[in-house]
Amino acid sequence: MLTFALLLTAAFCFRVSVARLLPNDEPGDGKIYAQMARNILEQHVYSHAAEPPYDPSLIRLPGYPLFLAGIYAAFGHGDNTAVRIAQALIDTASCALIALLAFYWEPNEKLKRRSAIAALALAAACPFSTIYVATILTETGTIFFVVAMCLTATLAFRAVDQRRAVLWWLATGIISGLAVLFRPDSGLFAAAIGITLVATTLMRSVDAPEPRPRKEFLLRFFRASFLGAVFSLAFCLVLVPWTIRNHRVFHLFQPLAPAHAEMPGEFVPRGYLAWLRTWIDDGRYIGPVLWALDEAPIKIADIPDRAFDSAEEKQRVAALFDKYNHPPDEQSHDSSNAQSQPPPSPVDNRAEADEQANANSNANDNSNDNSDEADSGNQNDEDNSNSNAEPDESDQDESSSTDQSPTQAVEMTPEIDAGFAQLAAERKARHPFRYFLWLPLKRGLSLWFDTHSQYYPFEGELLPLSDLDYDIHQQYWLPLFAGLTFVYTLLGVVGGWFLWSSGSFAARRWLLLAALMIFLRVGFFATLENPEPRYVVEVFPFLSVLGGIAITRIQTRQGI
């Protein structure tokens, strides 16, 4: 017990240090969650609006905002330091659950304690999940619920009587529902548990002393159906209040958050997103071409050549981006200003002529005189315009810089979106293998073998090496993090092999559960247009469990 206590203490100290030394309030999602929590406390409405009238919202599930609201209510509105300390405690508890999971999954009774210690050490030292205690994001809570649901499912599988099994499956369903209230994609973990329940209940245990009669298959089928129904019912019950609320407020059946975090009736550029899925294969392009959408200009130079199958296709994309970067309101701005100026009237008498001459001679002193724009084409003003060349050039430079600034007016319209949808359909038709297999495979590998350094001061891409920032020591940290990713992966594979080679039906069931937990999630996000590595940080607890088993078995074989 002393070893467990020391490791848990070290895990907590590590997480508190990260929370205090590397706090990060920058993620946009975190700002939305924090605003929702403050609105719950101060406006008594679930809304992401930052100012009145605080209309109700459904773009985020309520789990994490309610968690934040509870912390804010106890320690002060907006006290994110208290949130980080609470998340450090939660993540330390996750480490303890990981140790328990390794204890139950280790098939050798004599090695259970050692496997639990090794898994706890791997989880405690894992920097990939630890950094999220310092951010206002859902990952820390999600990891806790995911490991907890896996542990209760393990206890449900191990239950020796029906009543105990039903209780554990009820608990698993409730925890799975809570996980979904934090992150909707946690339903993938619930699906992994459900598939494992059905598959392993229907299969004949190889540990049985003799083959079971054929009629017993029906008993196993009814048992799988009953326990699956208990698990599913408990899962759905957790989502009922949120579903009822959305139906009453928005008149929609919306048990989860919308796929694109949109409010009812809000335009979603599905065609553009479909086009992105035809070429994006890693996370480095997400910021310039996805998160910048409707916020900043998108340049054709930001798109790699592999996004185009021909020069003609590149021209079509460039034309669509030109329309996006220069919406009709902006294109008509200059012309409308010019049209708003009255046309110059003819000079009919000497007084008017003198007035016109005086205006021309005083143009240098009146930089705000709009008549220069109206008369800029007149040959009579040539000398005057030359004398004003320097301020005119500065105005042009300012206008040019405004066009390139992030505040430039941009707009993704349904017409532009339809153009991208057509391009996406053509690219999928030309290369279905690339779209349905090759690109998801590349995205999956990119998700997995990333440095997973997000939200650290040195975050970035390892390759190409020439782009490393030596000022923030990326040349040291990123290779280290990439190496740690490889180590955790290798230990996970070795641990899975030991479970399989044990020949135990229960051990192979744990391997199936771990594999489904990992690959269902990676496979799902590999099909999306935003393959952010942070979406797979939830799989590292399972690598720690399998890695703990691997370390123990390797030590045992070497006589350590």
Residues 6+ apart with CB under 8 A from 497: none
Tell me what pLDDT residue 340 has. 46
> How far, CA to CA in Å, does 409 sit from each of 142, 189, 271, 327, 329?
37, 41, 21, 7, 9
Tell me what pLDDT residue 219 has. 87
What are the backbone dihedrals phi and psi of residue 61, each rounded to the nearest 5 degrees, phi first? -70, 155
> How far, CA to CA in Å, does 212 sit from each of 84, 208, 218, 526?
53, 8, 11, 41
Amino acid at 18: V
Q: Can you list the residues of the chain whose pLDDT is less than 50?
A: 206-207, 334-406
| 3 state SS of 206 | coil
DSSP 124: H
Tell me what pLDDT residue 284 has. 85
> How far, CA to CA in Å, does 91 sit from each of 9, 143, 357?
12, 8, 78
* DSSP symbols for 314-347: HHHHHHHHHHHHS-HHHHHHHHHHHHHSPPPPP-
3-state secondary structure 492-554: HHHHHHHHHHCCCHHHHHHHHHHHHHHHHHHHHHCCCCCCCHHHHHHHHHHHHHHHHHHHHHH
Tell me what pLDDT residue 210 has. 52
> What H or E segment, with its residue span, contains residue 482?
helix 474-501
Label residues 321-359 b or e (16+ Cβ within 10 Å = b).
Answer: bebbbbbeeeeeeeeeeeeeeeeeeeeeeeeeeeebeee
Measure the CA–CA gap between 10 and 171, rounded to whole angstroms: 30
Measure the CA–CA gap between 272 and 529, rounded to whole angstroms: 10
Tell me what pLDDT residue 217 has. 79
Measure the CA–CA gap between 479 and 138, rounded to whole angstroms: 27
What are the backbone dihedrals phi and psi of residue 47, each rounded to the nearest 5 degrees, phi first? -145, 150
Tell me what pLDDT residue 204 has. 62
Domain assignments of the chain as residue spans, ordered by start: 2-259+469-557, 270-329+408-451
Measure the CA–CA gap between 157 and 169, rounded to whole angstroms: 9
Tell me what pLDDT residue 214 has. 67
Measure the CA–CA gap between 482 and 490, rounded to whole angstroms: 12
Greatest distance between any 2 Cα atoms in the chain: 120
* DSSP symbols for 70-123: HHHHHH-TT-HHHHHHHHHHHHHHHHHHHHHHHHHH-S-GGGHHHHHHHHHHHH
Residue 212 in tokens: 């079971």
Label residues 233-254 b or e (16+ Cβ within 10 Å = b).
Answer: ebbeebbeebeeebeeeeeeeb
pLDDT digits (tens, 9 = 90+) for 508-519: 999 999 999 999
Q: Are 172 and 231 in contact (CB under 8 A)?
A: yes
Measure the CA–CA gap between 291 and 273, rounded to whole angstroms: 11
What residue spans of 22-79 are helical by DSSP H?
Answer: 28-42, 63-75
Measure the CA–CA gap between 509 and 507, rounded to whole angstroms: 5
